[in-house]
Amino acid sequence: RAIAEKFGLLAGKQVMITAGPTREAIDPVRYISNHSTGKMGFALAAACYAAGANVTLIAGPVSLDTPNGVKRKNVSSAVQMLNESMQMLENGCDIFIATAAVADYRVAEVAEHKIKKAGDELNVALVKNPDIVATIAQQEKRPFMVGFAAETRNIEEYAAGKLVAKKLDMIACNDVSRADIGFASDENAMTVFFAEHYQLDKRDLEKASKQEIAQQLIEAIHDALHRDPS
Ligand code: CTP
Ligand code: CA
């Protein structure tokens, strides 16, 4: 059995995980979204539960079964994902893990009726979505915050930047330019960075199944939590 499960590394912890893509409506029949499948978030939810945590998944539209023992709230848009997360936070949360591939922008004005094909060009104005993980990291009673980053280049620089900008405790980053890992793949390879005050070196997680990566991420969370002076 994996260490996280064997030693109940998250025993008694309340864990919230965002997962999957968000869907941003254009009109009643169309939307903007991305290729996220939610597999990493769902694998983490299962592993956190097995490690003794009380787990709530806040899931965008994905076609995955809810892991055994995990509570699940389904959402569609980024704004809904934020609202649901904020509401769930009131029940208490020790660890917040943001695996969701949140759409960075939404359509400024969703058309009430199906948009009819007309001219040769169509322009749709977009506005920025709220940053869910950064918003929660700003709350007074903030959980231990874990972010994910998918990059195609300058991985370390961008990941470290997001760690600081979003006030995260930990960030796990993967290289989506590699065709063999990430997104729809069952395997993943990641590098984990911790906020400076933990004084923990970055960790390279070797290419492994998303289940195995989840175990290593739980060990990383556990290690950081046990070094936190607060
Ligand atoms: N995230 C979030 N809310 C958003 C955008 C991102 O909670 N509106 C979270 C993701 O779930 C992930 C982390 O922030 O844990 C990093 O997401 P990413 O898309 O890599 O970061 P962005 O700040 O959106 O930067 P960019 O897409 O420009 O690289
Ligand atoms: Ca983004």
Cβ–Cβ under 8 Å, residues 206 and 189: yes
Cα-to-centroid distance, 131 and ligand 1 (Å):
7
Amino acid at 53: A
Q: For position 23, what pLDDT does the model report?
A: 98
What residues contact 227, with CB distance under 8 A and at least 6 apart?
A: 198, 199, 200
Ligand 1 in reach of 219 Cβ (< 6 A): no
Per the prediction, the chain carries an average pLDDT of: 93
pLDDT category at 100 given cuts 50, 70, 90 is: very high
Rounded average pLDDT over 13-28: 98
ipTM over 0.95 threshold: yes
Percentage of residues in the chain with pLDDT exceeding 70? 96
Tell the burial category of 198 from Cβ atoms under 10 Å away from its Cβ (0-12, 13-18, 19+).
Answer: middle
Give the tens place of pLDDT for each residue, 130-188.
999 999 999 999 999 999 998 888 988 999 999 999 999 999 998 777 767 666 677 77
Ligand 1 in reach of 149 Cβ (< 6 A): yes
Give the tens place of pLDDT for each residue, 27-52.
999 999 999 999 999 999 999 999 99
Instruction: Kindly report the pTM of this predicted structure.
Output: 0.95
